[in-house]
Structure 1
């Protein structure tokens, strides 16, 4: 009688053959150079931790030359980073760009304007005794604190600033008015709209007293 092979030995031989059949090909079994390559080939893998999940939009470009600044710069205590009471040098630094003279800077009262302003009455900063005290707007492209602007009716202004408007007659325009609005937060700044005889806003200004009430500006 031939000797029989024990069952345990047969089981061991079968397992060895199975493992040999499942051994990976040398090329297929090569590990990737690093974990990033492996994740890049796996659509289910999460993005690297240092990369945003969504595209980040490019930074918003600043307003270009010959454009009025975007909304949000008008204030009852100044304009942009400029604050009433700053010296001309401080105001220029806060503005961050060129401010050109629209009058004799050696005078007690004068205006400075951004370089892209062609007509000073459209947009200008007033300085008196070396301090920033007011800014004037004569165009509908700039909106005053609270929403008023050139071209609006006096009734619209009264509605926007309900209960806060102080009216006085225009010094030079028959039927025209000055519509003054004080800072609702209790600050020193004041907003003044000027209207024509038909009640249309022709200009507005923001500043501190007494300069904000100068009808002729620096004249």
Structure 2
């Protein structure tokens, strides 16, 4: 018999808590090691094989760095995957509907990011936005980094995940 002899109450969590693996962050395609089935280190052909839909973009003549984005996207900054020297090394997001690993997203403020990643956020001045910041979060025990960019009011405008040094390139491939 594989059933208990007595009634066992269901597992419970404190009110307002989210069980690991559940909630908005768990539903996101964003991961520390890639996006969806596209994993860092894959070449563009491997990424295209696992991606649902068409990806557009290509390297310019003489360049080893380029971006691929979903076809039909009206703004490349909404979502882009960076490739350098033939490998997927970073993805960038400026869409409030896509949730970063750990739960951060566009529209949150600095205090919310600090609360989601307690003791893991280091900040530095934004290169182009006066009073803006870069909020850098290192993957616990892993090689990847998450960088949130904020405006002067401390609100996240975009974020990216990837391998150093590419995740820290302020101007993408430029």
Structure 1 length-normalised TM: 0.65
Aligned to 2:171: 216
Q: CA deviation at 1:71?
A: 3.0
Q: In 2, are the aligned partners of 1:122 and 1:137 still within 8 Å (CA)?
A: yes
Aligned to 1:56: none
Q: In 2, are the aligned partners of 1:191 and 1:205 still within 8 Å (CA)?
A: yes
Matches within 5 A, 1:58-207: 71-101=27-57, 104=60, 107-184=63-140, 186-207=141-162
**CA displacement 1:34-63 (0-9 Å, x = unmatched):** xxxxxxxxxxxxxxxxxxxxxxxxxxxxxx
Who wins on radius of gyration, i.e. which is larger?
Answer: 1
Q: In 1, are the aligned partners of 2:44 and 2:87 still within 8 Å (CA)?
A: yes
Q: In 2, are the aligned partners of 1:123 and 1:138 still within 8 Å (CA)?
A: yes
Aligned to 1:64: none
Q: CA deviation at 1:104?
A: 2.9
Which aligned segments of 4 or more residues in structure 1 are displaced greater than 2 angstroms?
102-107
Classify the secondary structure of the residue corresponding to 1:121. helix
Classify the secondary structure of the residue corresponding to 2:123. strand
| Larger strand proportion of the pair | 2
CA change 1:217–1:204 in 2 (3 A) is: same
Q: CA deviation at 1:139?
A: 1.6
Q: CA deviation at 1:84?
A: 0.6
Partner Cα separation in structure 1 for residue 100 and residue 146 of structure 2: 8
| Larger helix proportion of the pair | 1
Q: How many residues align?
A: 149
Q: CA deviation at 1:114?
A: 1.1
Higher relative contact order (CA 8 A, sep 6+): 2
